[in-house]
Chains A and B, each alone.
Chain A
Amino acid sequence: MNRDQLVKQIDNDLGSKVADVFRRNAKRVYLTVEPENSLAVNRYLFEHGGRLATATGVDCRDWIEVCYHYCFDPLNVVVTVKTRAYKPACELDSVATVFPGANFIEREIQDLLGAKFLNHPDPRRLILADDWPEGVYPLRKDYHHEAHVNTGRAVSPDHGRARVLSALRRG
């Protein structure tokens, strides 16, 4: 099988579950999928030889976009499943119920962006500190660094200057 055949097969087998198939270039395919179909599409890609490299969460104001990146190594193509976790609930079915490789990957997005993965086998905090406040998601666009600084945190004079400089850079 080659890349084109894979894309055709995905289109045929998944049909209406995939809202859009975008081939950015020969090696990059992006599938847009509604949240209710995300689990089925992920399961299909995993069972047909895809290796989940990682998943990216992006804060898009009214939803958190979650992109699952599957590498089909022998075919030299990366197929990305783009789905949305609409705010305020931000819920998606967990892919970790299908294979354990998605476990840590989804927990990271949960910590940093607040997307909730339903039926996740182990939804504990993974990478933020024990004393990090609940409900504060640092990768969201409305995260304000200064507002969530722990009063016990030590700040050096250089740090203050660096923050001012980066605020200026951001305009």
Chain B
Amino acid sequence: MNWKVWGLSKSPWVYHVNTGACNNCDIEILDCLTPRFDIERFGMLLVPSPRHADALLVTGGVTRQARPRLQEVYRQTAKPCIVLCVGACACSMGIFADCYHMAGPPDKVIREVDPSAIIAYVPGCPPKPEAIIAGAVKGLQAACKLLSQG
């Protein structure tokens, strides 16, 4: 396996971006850091800059104002970078699909800048921390498999 991909699968560093969420998914993501779930023991860290990120955790459907910011954040991440859409709004905009200020779900917005972006989905409203961790692990494993296949 490519050493970059191997590094990605072992202790991914994660950057979190909220593009229009109600904050519940954000709270559950932060919960993953707290003593009950404690993802830091697996080497998963929340990093303050997208340039250090192996994975991007996106919450919320993308509002019109947030759309260029999300695309900019994605451009700044070092590739390969896996996008994890956390929550129903990030997966498909959910109940906000009809709203006038929404620009689209994160996967469509990111595919505008990178059609071959690797995107995984963690549904839930909000997904429990166990679901987020499981989703992150599965997503990363699947992504690493994809990347090593070239």
Chain B binds chain A: yes
Question: What is the interface of chain A, defined by CB distance below 8 A to chain B?
Answer: 128-132, 138, 143, 145, 148, 150, 153-156, 158-159, 162-163, 166
Q: By the criterion of a CB under 8 Å from any partner CB, how many residues of chain B are at the interface?
A: 19
A128 contacts which of B92, B101, B109 (Cβ < 8 Å)?
A: B101
Instruction: List 15 contacting pairs A-B, 8 Å CB cutoff, sorted by A.
Output: A128-B101, A132-B64, A132-B101, A138-B101, A150-B64, A150-B103, A153-B64, A154-B104, A154-B111, A154-B112, A155-B108, A156-B104, A163-B97, A163-B98, A166-B98
Is B63 positioned at the interface, with any CB of A under 8 Å from its CB? yes
Nearest-Cβ distance from residue A125 to partner chain B, whole angstroms: 11
Which chain B residue has the least Cβ–Cβ distance from A139?
Answer: B100
The answer to the question of B23 belonging to the interface, with a C-beta cut-off of 8 Å to chain A, is no
B contact residues around A129 at 8 Å (CB)? 63-65, 101
Please give, as numbers and ranges, the residues of chain B lying within 8 Å of A163 by CB-CB distance. 97-98
- Alpha-carbon distance A157/B108, docked complex (angstroms): 10
Whether the Cβ atoms of A158 and B97 lie closer than 8 Å is yes
Q: A150-B64, A156-B93 are in contact. Are A138 and B100 (CB under 8 A)?
A: yes
Tell me, in angstroms, the Cα distance from A159 to B64 when the chains sit together. 15
Are A162 and B97 in contact (CB-based, < 8 A)?
A: yes
- Answer yes or no: B105 CB below 8 A from chain A CBs: yes
- The residues of B that contact A145 with a CB separation of less than 8 Å are 98, 100
Task: Give, as a whole number of angstroms, the nearest-CB distance from B109 to chain A.
Answer: 5
B104: which A residues are within 8 A, CB to CB?
153-156, 159
Task: Give residues 75-128 of B contacting A (CB, 8 Å).
Answer: 92-93, 97-98, 100-101, 103-105, 107-109, 111-112
